[in-house]
Amino acid sequence: MYSFYIETFGCQMNEKDSEIMEQLMRKNNYLPAEDMKTADIIIINTCSIRAKAEQKVYSLLGSLRCRKKENSIFLIAVAGCVAQQEGRKMISRMPHVDLVIGPQSIYNLPDLLSKAEKSKKSIVETGLSPDFNIPLILPDPGNGAGHKRFVNIMQGCNNFCTYCIVPYTRGRESSREVGDILAEVRHLVDHGVKEVTLLGQNVNSYGNDRSADRHTSFPELLRQVAKVKGLKRLRFTTSHPKDLSPALIGCFREFDNLCPHFHLPVQSGSNAVLKRMNRKYTIEAYLEKVAGLREAQPDIALTTDLIVGFPGETEKDFLATMELLETVRYHSAFSFMYSSRPPALSCRYNDNVEKEEKSRRLNLLQRRQKEITLERNKEYVGRTMEVMVEGPSRNREGASGRTGSNHIVNFPCSQVPGPGKMLQVKITRACFNTLQGQIIS
Ligand code: 5AD
Ligand code: SF4
């Protein structure tokens, strides 16, 4: 019996894809290996959204060449964005790779591996069909975290933000059947899962790829999922500001189990830059939506993604982004230096902000956001919050859990409660990354 190991790079979508691949491999009697060194089959799930990841993947593959020659590795498969982008080119450069597999083909992984084994030929399976439907594979609740799970609701993206490679590597938007999503959520909850995060590149355009007679909007989907008996917490990610509707904002008034956290990537505070990014909203429209969310749910924690040094970003544009931090006062933000990702359209723009300047802007932005995050975290001190236990805290001195607002809380306890247990915790101290508290119930 062969063992397998999946190395995952990148985002939550990739983590979810790896979970699905792992489940399919187990179902087909492959055994999970402890690490890459001891595995017979190695699956590398790659990401190329920001870094020039191709080189990293190629050097990892190069380092596996000898083991493949000595037959200490049986099969090598590459999945994810780099696999999709490189396709057959990957086999020309690395003939010892047996399978290059795109995001729509991961569901056939075990079959494709045995086909590659039998034929002794490398297989490239990177087709992206506009009619693709995510198949219903009920997740194995024993595999991965038992109390919280991701559920895919759609694949792909139609937005073509000019910096972004996702529409090229994951294809067009394809929404999953409501019935399949509900079946998956119910199955998870019946097996003890307490928290579900609905996952997609652009979840709030869910359903827009369907004809009117089969259309269910994202707020309607949320309503149906929120009603699943026993589901304690519901989250979703990622949302595009242009598709954030009043109906979605209204959901935060309506459902108690919808967590008060919204990740709303803004990318830039300058309208001129947003236009060149093809984001299809202005800062004024964005701020109106932020105000609407805060009115509907005053406790909502807002987080965002930001890019500095986009082609043509002037000092004035950058200062508009800095100004936006003061206006919104995000609870936290992920920020990145722009990098050109062919064939995304901005690769044709003049990447004229020097590396040092990008780095200066990123440092300034991150330094200020760090202060704001700490100030925001301090606002929780003295409050009692509902915390879902995750496990022992990092320093092993107590337990750690998350609030609905997605903050990590560490607290002392004589015995660490089981993951998924809900506790009332009084917040006593705030740091940049975590809150400290005391159990009060
Ligand atoms: N350069 C820098 N950051 C990028 N992102 C996506 N593409 C790029 C790029 N070419 C960032 C965006 C997005 C997040 C997932 O990654 O901020 O929201
Ligand atoms: Fe990329 Fe824009 Fe689609 Fe997000 S919405 S995946 S940034 S193209």
Q: Which residues neighbour 220 within 8 Å (Cβ) at sequence distance 6 or greater?
A: 207
Task: Determine the pLDDT at residue 143.
Answer: 67
Token output for 426? 């009084």
Given the structure tokens 């309607």, which residue do they identify?
Answer: 220
Whether ligand 1 lies within 6 angstroms of the CB of 338 is answered as yes
3-state secondary structure (DSSP) of residue 380? coil
Q: In angstroms, what is the span from residue 157 Cα to ligand 2's centroid? A: 6
CB 413 within 8 A of CB 399: yes
Nearest 5°: the CA angle 393, 399, 405 is 90
Task: Determine the pLDDT at residue 187.
Answer: 95
Q: In angstroms, what is the span from residue 229 Cα to ligand 2's centroid? A: 33
Which residue, by CA, sits nearest to atom 1 of ligand 2?
Answer: 164
Query: Strand 422-430 to strand 434-439: parallel, antiparallel, or no bridges (unpaired)?
Result: antiparallel
CB 212 within 8 A of CB 227: no
Ligand (nearest to CA of 265): 1
Token output for 422? 């809900």
**Sign of the alpha-carbon torsion through 165, 168, 173, 176:** negative
Nearest 5°: the CA angle 49, 52, 56 is 110
Query: Strand 332-337 to strand 384-392: parallel, antiparallel, or no bridges (unpaired)?
Result: unpaired
Whether ligand 1 lies within 6 angstroms of the CB of 307 is answered as yes
CA distances from 376 to 169, 299, 304, 325, 332 (A): 36, 12, 14, 12, 9
Kindly give the number of the ligand 1 atom that is closest to the alpha carbon of 344: 10
Q: In angstroms, what is the span from residue 317 Cα to ligand 1's centroid? A: 17
Q: For a substitution probing ligand 2, which of 157, 274, 307, 347 has the most ligand atoms within 8 Å of its CB? A: 157
C-alpha–C-alpha distance, residues 277 and 20, integer Å: 33
First and final C-alpha spacing in the chain: 48
Task: Determine the pLDDT at residue 140.
Answer: 79
Task: Determine the pLDDT at residue 394.
Answer: 86
Task: Determine the pLDDT at residue 48.
Answer: 85
pLDDT per residue of the chain (441 residues) written in tens, 0 to 9: 899 999 998 888 899 999 999 999 999 999 999 999 999 999 999 988 887 678 889 999 999 998 888 877 789 999 999 999 999 999 999 999 999 999 999 999 999 999 999 999 999 999 998 888 888 888 877 766 589 999 999 999 999 999 999 999 999 999 999 999 999 999 999 999 999 999 999 999 999 988 777 789 999 999 999 999 999 999 999 999 999 999 999 999 999 999 999 999 999 999 999 999 999 999 999 999 999 999 999 999 999 999 999 999 999 999 999 999 999 999 999 999 999 999 999 999 999 999 999 999 999 999 999 999 999 999 999 999 999 999 999 887 899 999 999 999 999 999 999 999 999 999 999 999 999 999 996
Task: Determine the pLDDT at residue 203.
Answer: 96
Ligand (nearest to CA of 171): 2
Q: What is the pTM of this model?
A: 0.93
